[in-house]
Amino acid sequence: MEEEFKNIAKEIACKLRMLLNKKWDGKTAILEMKNNGYNQWSQMEWIGWYFQFLCERNLSALMEIPGNSYGNVTFDAFKKVPWDFKSHIKNDQDGKEQTVIIINDKAAIDNAIKQYGYIGLIIAVGYAEWNDTNRTFQKWVEELKGGKSEYEEKRIERGAPSRLRKVSFNLKDILFVKISNRELGKLIIHRQGRNSNGNMRMPKYALDLKDINSFEHYSCFELC
């Protein structure tokens, strides 16, 4: 099983290698998604969606996209086992190190591992730059969308502060992480709070990259 995971990861890495050491400009990425009819182009957290867009475009001949579903949760891809595409920004807007990444629904991961033995994560890792205090990038996105979103309108009604938007992302590496039953206890259980209807959201697993050596994992650089 160990060799299987490494071989699949290497095959995927060689398809994604050309993405490394690239700076993703937010405006360019959003327009690329929009012009290609990608329905998540207007999401505030555009970096993760752009990576998923790039994976879908570059890996569609190699993997089944999307992957299989468990309840209401669908994995991003399938090749021998379920895979998810994730992004991780290593710095916050104040420059502080960030190491925890929320991965997926706990029950879905548990069931997928029970069925296939393990799941795989493909994680784009890098550093972000944030909007200036005049929020020119945020204003540009709102204009492109045709105005403020319902979510933004409700935030204004509540008087909640507006978060600065990420304007670019410097991709430094792509990690391939294997999670099997023996590693589940090393993950963090992330409680999400309530939905808008008041019902509790299902818990998710989160991975602390400080513990990455507890998992079988590979860097895109060492694979391809």
The total domain count for the chain is 1
For 68, counting Cβ atoms within 10 Å of its Cβ (0-12 exposed, 13-18 middle, 19+ buried), the class is middle
What is the pLDDT at residue 155? 44
Give the domain extent around 26: 2-223
Per-residue pLDDT of 57-93, as tens digits, reads 999 999 999 999 999 999 999 999 999 999 999 998 8
The pair of three-digit structure tokens given for residue 12, joined into one six-digit string: 């995927």
How far is 39 from 41, CA to CA, in rounded Å?
6
Question: What confidence score (pLDDT) does residue 224 get?
Answer: 86
Model confidence pLDDT, tens digit, residues 172-218: 999 999 999 999 989 999 876 555 545 557 889 999 999 999 999 99
Each as own residue / partner, the long-range contacts of residues 15-20 (CB below 8 Å, 24 or more positions apart, any chain) are 15/58, 15/59, 15/62, 16/54, 16/55, 16/58, 16/59, 16/122, 16/174, 16/220, 17/220, 17/224, 19/54, 19/58, 19/124, 19/171, 19/174, 20/171, 20/172, 20/173, 20/174, 20/220, 20/221
- Virtual CA dihedral for 59, 56, 87, 112, nearest 10 degrees? -80
Write down the mean pLDDT value for the chain: 88
Looking at per-residue confidence, does 93 or 32 come out higher?
Answer: 32
pLDDT at position 138: 87
Claim: this prediction has a pTM higher than 0.95: no
What does the pLDDT look like over 100-110, one tens digit per residue?
Answer: 999 999 999 99
Contacts of residue 79, defined as CB under 8 A and 6 or more positions apart, other chains included, come to 8, 12, 62, 63, 64
What is residue 193's predicted lDDT score, i.e. its pLDDT? 58
* More confidently predicted of 15 and 224: 15
- Give me the pLDDT at residue 179, please: 96
> How much is the average pLDDT of 147-156?
53
